[in-house]
């Protein structure tokens, strides 16, 4: 036994380069009693990959905008539009502050709680952006996205459309660094966070308190620049109140600073404080003119810095607008046709997903319309967003004896665009001869990045009561972050998976202890 231990210690770092054999399924034969001791066995799992099977996994996938800056925008036609949508993860509530605090200190949480209660009961999550400036005036809450009582309390601001003062019939825009405005906003966010920050269904909170629709710019309003100090104050107010929630900010919020040094300083402040990014502008016509060469992603560097640590968010331009302009199909008179060199909107979507490394993706429209138009594409993008895990091989050093050590290496590959951000449990199970044994061998983490082999080497103690014979080796990944034991699916053929979420990947022989 000491010789085997010495061989194992020497060979273990090089296990991935040593080939051997093992069997799976009907190909499994009897253990060879005459084979050379201390031989590495490798089961190649590529033959069992299934890149077409749709995987519905936690903490990734599609989201639905509702409401979308207006309380009736993108209302769900019927419940099944979301409940039967492949990989629908959460509802994204984007609404003005004035709907929730119509009078100072008096909160109307029912406006959003009706939506929250309904969809969380079906297992969906919720994300928020609360805006302080909208661009329509059909309702008082739209004209005064920041509640009117803030202006009446003395906060400075004005009525603007596309850079021009309008008088009192236009949308009101606060001066975003005004101390009265900031004090009132601070108290609102304190109350909002006290109610929602701890909720288990909360996916993220956008920092949406500056600019048109909360995007950080005032293109449709005053077109005044909001400086570094004001933007940092808004970020810091959110950091102060949201202790649990993932914070997210539009890249426009940072990029809107004209000074490159200040822009970089704010970006570093965002990243240092664990805040992530969303892109609100994929396939927006204005970006097709300037950023078509990178699929309308203006700030890929921001996302490259964020995604190794925090989940990022992809927002398509309103799907109805993209279709109307001909950009989805690449119509001959569209800007996609002009700049895309034969590409379609789907090609831009794919390319942008890669640059944004997005875990959450949105079509920004009506669920039934999108899915009817793009059924296969919806499933394709669901697999590719976030993490998408392929077991590549399993290796072990033979002989394996009851009561002895199992030296094992499992190699995975992430073919998604981002790592898993939650510590899913990776378990190994041995079954055979009336015995079953399960052990946790690793936890998923942010080092499981795309494009880098994930090599997990473990030394496991085999239970001494195991009788000699063949044992099936299965692996499973499980999410316990919500209090349950939800299986996380691998991109392997369905027939390998048992009812508990384990995939049978190999068969090993266990000999008597010596």
- At 332-383, the pLDDT tens digits run 999 999 999 999 999 999 999 999 999 999 999 999 999 999 999 999 999 9
Report which secondary-structure segment, H or E, holds 128: strand 125-131
Percent share of the chain, pLDDT over 70:
93
Cα–Cα distance between 283 and 29 in angstroms, integer? 56
Q: What is the pLDDT of residues 112-134, one digit of tens each?
A: 999 999 999 999 999 999 999 99
Please compute the mean of the pLDDT values over residues 388-405 and round it to a whole number: 96
Q: How many CA atoms lie within 13 A of 47 on its CB side?
A: 8
Angle value at C-alpha 48, between 45 and 54, nearest 5 degrees? 125
- Residue 156 DSSP one-character state: -
- In this predicted structure, the answer to whether residue 156 has a pLDDT above a threshold of 60 is yes
- Residue 447 domain-assigned? yes
The residue behind tokens 């080092």 is 447
Question: For 194-221, how does the pLDDT look when each residue is reduced to its tens digit (9 = 90+)?
Answer: 999 999 999 999 999 999 999 999 999 9
Is the pLDDT at 285 greater than 80, yes or no?
yes
> In this structure, what token pair is assigned to residue 112?
């959003």
Region label for 223, one of left (φ > 0), alpha (ψ between -120 and 50) or beta (otherwise): left
Task: State whether residue 478 is helix, strand or coil.
Answer: strand
> What pLDDT score does 461 carry?
96
The answer to whether residue 345 sits within a structural domain is no
Render pLDDT for 168-201 as a digit per residue (tens, 0 to 9). 999 999 999 999 999 999 999 999 999 999 999 9
C-beta atoms surrounding 441 within 10 Å? 15
Q: Are 416 and 384 in contact (CB under 8 A)?
A: yes
| Residue 174 resides in a domain | no
Residue 313 lies in a domain: no
Asked if residue 456 is part of any domain, the answer here is yes
Any idea what the CATH number is for the domain that residue 457 is in? 2.60.40.770
Given pLDDT bands bounded at 50, 70 and 90, which one contains residue 513? Answer: confident
Range of the domain at 42: 2-52+388-511
User: pLDDT, tens digit, for every residue of 421-443?
Assistant: 999 999 999 999 999 999 999 99
How much is the pLDDT for 2? 41
Report d(CA 131, CA 147) in Å as an integer.
11
Judge contact between 108 and 102, C-beta under 8 A.
yes
Q: Rounded distance, CA 112 to CA 129, Å?
A: 12
- Does residue 73 carry a pLDDT above 80? yes
Report whether pLDDT(6) > 70. Answer: no
Q: Within a domain: residue 268?
A: no
The model's confidence at residue 482, banded by pLDDT at 50, 70 and 90, is confident
Q: Is residue 38 part of a domain?
A: yes
**Structure-block tokens of residue 346:** 């789907």
pLDDT value of position 12: 44
The average pLDDT across 495-500 equals 97
The domain tally of the chain equals 1
pLDDT bin (cut points 50, 70, 90) of residue 514 is low
Backbone angles phi, psi at 112, to 5 degrees: -100, -25
Spatial contact of 110 and 100, defined as CB atoms under 8 Å apart: no
pLDDT in tens, 314-336: 999 999 999 999 999 999 999 99
Q: Is the pLDDT of residue 37 over 70?
A: no
Residue 230 lies in a domain: no
| Average pLDDT score over the chain | 93
Peptide bond into 171 cis (omega under 30): no
Is a pLDDT exceeding 80 seen at residue 268? yes
């Amino acid at each position: 036994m000491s010789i085997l231990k010495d061989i194992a210690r020497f060979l273990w770092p090089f296990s991935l380069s040593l080939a051997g054999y093992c069997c799976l399924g009907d190909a499994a034969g009897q253990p060879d009693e005459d084979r050379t001791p201390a031989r590495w066995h490798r089961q190649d799992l590529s033959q069992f990959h299934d890149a077409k099977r749709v995987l519905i996994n936690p903490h990734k996938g599609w989201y639905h905008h509702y409401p979308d800056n207006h309380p009736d925008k993108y209302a769900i036609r019927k419940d099944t539009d979301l409940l039967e949508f492949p990989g629908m993860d959460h509802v994204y509530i984007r609404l003005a502050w004035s709907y929730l605090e119509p009078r100072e200190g008096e909160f109307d949480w029912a406006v959003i709680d009706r939506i929250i209660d309904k969809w969380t009961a079906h297992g969906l999550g919720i994300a928020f952006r609360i805006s302080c400036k909208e661009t329509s005036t059909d309702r008082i809450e739209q004209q005064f996205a920041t509640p009117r009582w803030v202006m009446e309390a003395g906060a400075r601001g004005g009525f603007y459309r596309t850079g021009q003062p309008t008088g009192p019939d236009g949308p009101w825009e606060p001066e975003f660094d005004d101390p009265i405005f900031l004090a009132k906003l601070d108290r609102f966010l304190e109350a909002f966070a006290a109610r929602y920050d701890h909720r288990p269904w909360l996916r993220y909170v956008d920092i949406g308190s500056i600019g048109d629709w909360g995007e950080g710019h005032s293109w449709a309003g005053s077109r005044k620049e909001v400086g570094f100090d004001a933007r940092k104050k808004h970020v810091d107010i959110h950091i102060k109140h949201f202790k649990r929630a993932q914070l997210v900010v539009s890249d426009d919020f940072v990029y809107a600073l004209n000074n490159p040094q200040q822009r970089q300083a704010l970006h570093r402040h965002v990243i240092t404080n664990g805040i992530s990014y969303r892109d609100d502008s994929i396939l927006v016509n204005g970006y097709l003119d300037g950023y078509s060469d990178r699929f309308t992603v203006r700030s890929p560097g921001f996302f490259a810095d964020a995604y190794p640590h925090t989940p990022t968010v992809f927002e398509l331009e309103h799907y109805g607008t993209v279709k109307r302009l001909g950009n989805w199909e690449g119509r001959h008179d569209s800007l996609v046709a002009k700049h895309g060199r034969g590409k379609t909107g789907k090609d831009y979507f794919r390319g942008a997903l890669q640059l944004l490394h997005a875990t959450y993706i949105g079509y920004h429209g009506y669920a039934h319309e999108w899915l009817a138009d793009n059924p296969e594409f919806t499933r394709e993008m669901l697999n590719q967003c976030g993490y998408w895990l392929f077991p590549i091989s399993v290796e072990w050093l033979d002989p394996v004896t009851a009561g002895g050590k199992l030296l094992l290496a499992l190699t995975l590959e992430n073919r998604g665009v981002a790592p898993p951000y939650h510590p899913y449990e990776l378990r190994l199970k041995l079954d055979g001869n009336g015995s079953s044994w399960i052990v946790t061998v690793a936890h998923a983490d942010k080092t499981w990045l795309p494009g880098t082999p994930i090599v997990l080497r473990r030394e496991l103690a085999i239970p001494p009561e195991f009788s000699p014979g063949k044992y099936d080796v299965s692996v499973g990944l499980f999410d316990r972050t919500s209090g349950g034991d939800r299986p996380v699916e691998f991109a392997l053929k369905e027939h390998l998976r048992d009812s508990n979420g384990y995939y049978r990947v190999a068969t090993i022989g266990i000999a008597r202890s010596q």
